[in-house]
A and B are shown apart, each in its own frame.
Chain A
Amino acid sequence: DVKVTQSSRYLVKRTGEKVFLECVQDMDHENMFWYRQDPGLGLRLIYFSYDVKMKEKGDIPEGYSVSREKKERFSLILESASTNQTSMYLCATPGKGEGELFFGEGSRLTVL
Chain B
Amino acid sequence: AQSVTQLGSHVSVSEGALVLLRCNYSSSVPPYLFWYVQYPNQGLQLLLKYTSAATLVKGINGFEAEFKKSETSFHLTKPSAHMRDAAEYFCAVSAYSGGGADGLTFGKGTHLIIQP
A interface with B by C-beta (< 8 Å): 4, 29, 31, 33, 35, 40-45, 48, 50, 56, 58, 90, 92-94, 97-106, 108
Contact = CB atoms under 8 A, between A and B. Distances in A.
B97 A99 contact: yes
A89 to B, nearest CB: 11
A36 B49 CA distance: 22
A99 B100 CA distance: 7
Given A99-B51, A103-B44, A56 B102 contact: yes
B90 A106 contact: no
B94 A99 contact: yes
Contacts of B97: 98-99
Nearest to B51: A98
Contacts of A94: 98-99
Mostly, the B contact residues are loop
Mostly, the A contact residues are strand
B90 A100 contact: no
A97 B42 CA distance: 22
Given A48-B102, A99-B98, A40 B32 contact: no
Contacts of B51: 98-99
B20 interface: no
A43 B90 contact: yes
Contacts of B45: 103
A99 B99 contact: yes
A106 B108 contact: no
A105 B43 contact: yes
